[in-house]
Structure 1
């Protein structure tokens, strides 16, 4: 039976990315050594780093004056590293879910944190719109896509201060005006690579403004100066990132990824809205194209586990919703296919007919 991977992360990757990475794990560039055991300073690996950075800059049309670096620690480390490097006195945060809340918690170690708005009282079922960002804030932090709750900010916001964004779960799924941001960071395990590497895009001229003494590893300038090789980088995840960036470019770039994201989401949301058994969990205008959350209607609540088992038997993997929301979550990252979404829709229709 064919499996359809709807996991929220680590998540689906293009088949050719997996296959090409696997080949290099067995024998990297004909060296007779595995990608897992080569030195990161080997002459054959430097081109991997260089091409990865070049492709990210090309695909996102990153302007001059920005650096792209690769670090470990996931977005969770960036919750601390961002304010360490950028928070001088005050930072503004938009609280749209669990990860935004965690980012705020870490920022409070470095200065004043202003929560400009929150949808926590509504279990994060919408993205707040009516708020004011303090003009004296050092930056305004947003989480563009909320994997747990299924909301997304799919456009650049107007802000009186520079933006910083956690784009872990929707980077590379749409064009981005990078010039509006001081920094963008993303755990790679959604749309960029296997788990184990974090991509940070940072505006060079805004670094070094804080007065605090930064530990060497926390200062972004350390990693920019050393080309992400101050310490041993996660070699295999970076290689899988390279293969994924090659794939995105070959498919038509981020504009094509955006088109596909809308196509997949339209198919699934249309069925959620049509099917008498289900309903979506968030405001329609804020629906994520990456993480599509839905639950059973109250009168059919007892069928939730039955549907989960039914869909699993049809090859759907990872559709159980997060415990904060319940129900179901179909993550539709770049590598997800229309075929996979249609298979889920067919399962929903067949289940409706049965019950």
Structure 2
């Protein structure tokens, strides 16, 4: 039996590698958060101004066009995305929902089982793959996930979306935005959550609407009941107050201040371009390591479709492939447990519905040095599991 190597000497200073909620920005602490709005009504002038500031700063950092609306929604990315589906998808129009991982498949189930769209086409692919998007008709409404949070597969481009397409596009961008540039002219409803790439507190989402999306919402009244949390109109017009800080329901002002602090940090380091660069550099460390590690392979075979945020990897090799399915599933769990017990890496197991895997978050709030220090520990844990 091969001897187990010694434990690595260096530990990550911040061992949080979860893919959501993700690690806070470097230097974060509670005393950095402003608290004047706490204990106040979210309808008060001061609190509403902070909500509006969060909206305005999001618009600035993301480069959202001036004629687009940006609003805060309840229910994280899920609430924002389902609001877009419930208020914009019309049974009289053809629609396509494309999925290549767990959350995209939730949107398929929403369209099939909840909205029951009669003119629906669904496209799906296994983990690590992306379905053929080029054949989606341009008059179809389309729902898609820019980056597969649980598979590590992202769309390489938006060439499959015509700039003058008739249908609306609904884009779940939660693990891509602030890490990849959005092609705003081709996007009608874009959603994300505070707790993903920015590492902020959960339960709040963002909804970004193009003029075309607003036109659809104002001209279409769904046949199905709309919960209050999804109601974006007053009468026949969009409720602009939602996009000025007058949220549909009561937000957490503490979470709002946490999101603002993250946005201000991102702005201080150079904005979204700096965030892109940090994610790219972090992901390159992990991707290069996977390529150099004989018992791992990237879950995404095509390099052009590999994300720079939640990098997912599967196991390979003679020893692993000799194991039963149950024992294979246990390998990543055992690796993560060994690392967690030593305080060197938390929450980097693959998603529960994905194939047995590891998933290391590489978004811009991560420090490259912490990722570099984690990888030898994973190698040590693998050898410990293999030879233990």
TM-score bin, normalised by smaller chain: 0.7 to 0.9
2:30 is aligned with 1:19 = yes
1:93 to 79, 87, 97: 97
TM-score normalised by structure 2 residue count: 0.80
2:312 is aligned with 1:293 = yes
2:192 is aligned with 1:180 = no
TM-score normalised by structure 1 residue count: 0.86
Task: Give the Cα separation in 2 of the matches to 1:306 and 1:242.
Answer: 37
Conservation of the 8 A alpha-carbon contact between 2:275 and 2:364: yes
1:206-355 to structure 2, matched below 5 A, reads 206=215, 207-212=217-222, 214=226, 216-221=228-233, 224-226=240-242, 227=244, 228-285=246-303, 286-301=305-320, 304=332, 307-312=335-340, 313=342, 315-323=344-352, 324-350=354-380
- Map of 2:3 onto structure 1: none
Task: Give the Cα separation in 1 of the matches to 2:82 and 2:287.
Answer: 36
Task: Give the Cα separation in 1 of the matches to 2:356 and 2:124.
Answer: 21
Q: State how many pairs are aligned.
A: 342
The one-character-per-residue Cα deviations of 1:62-85 (angstroms, maximum 9, x if unpaired) are 112211111111233344322222
Task: Give the Cα separation in 2 of the matches to 1:272 and 1:329.
Answer: 12
Conservation of the 8 A alpha-carbon contact between 2:175 and 2:192: yes
SS in 2 for 1:238: helix
Task: Give the Cα separation in 2 of the matches to 1:80 and 1:352.
Answer: 40
1:133-212 to structure 2, matched below 5 A, reads 133-137=136-140, 139-153=141-155, 155-159=157-161, 160=165, 161-192=167-198, 193-204=200-211, 205-206=214-215, 207-212=217-222
The one-character-per-residue Cα deviations of 1:157-213 (angstroms, maximum 9, x if unpaired) are 432343210011121112222221111011221123210200111124422121336
Conservation of the 8 A alpha-carbon contact between 1:279 and 1:297: yes
Task: Give the Cα separation in 2 of the matches to 1:154 and 1:39.
Answer: 44
Alpha carbon RMSD of aligned pairs, Å?
2.5
Give ranges in structure 2 of 5+ residues lacking alignment.
Answer: 1-10, 321-326
Task: Give the Cα separation in 2 of the matches to 1:50 and 1:333.
Answer: 25
The one-character-per-residue Cα deviations of 1:300-323 (angstroms, maximum 9, x if unpaired) are 436645533443326111111123
Shift of 1:42: 2.9
Give the stretch that moved more between structures: 186-195 or 155-164: 155-164
2:61 to 56, 59, 62: 59
Task: Give the Cα separation in 2 of the matches to 1:97 and 1:115.
Answer: 17
Task: Give the Cα separation in 2 of the matches to 1:20 and 1:184.
Answer: 32
- Map of 2:50 onto structure 1: 48
Task: Give the Cα separation in 2 of the matches to 1:97 and 1:353.
Answer: 30
Task: Give the Cα separation in 1 of the matches to 2:361 and 2:121.
Answer: 28
Give ranges in structure 1 of 5+ residues lacking alignment.
Answer: 30-34
Shift of 1:20: 4.4
Structure 1 runs (4+) greater than 6 angstroms displaced: 352-355
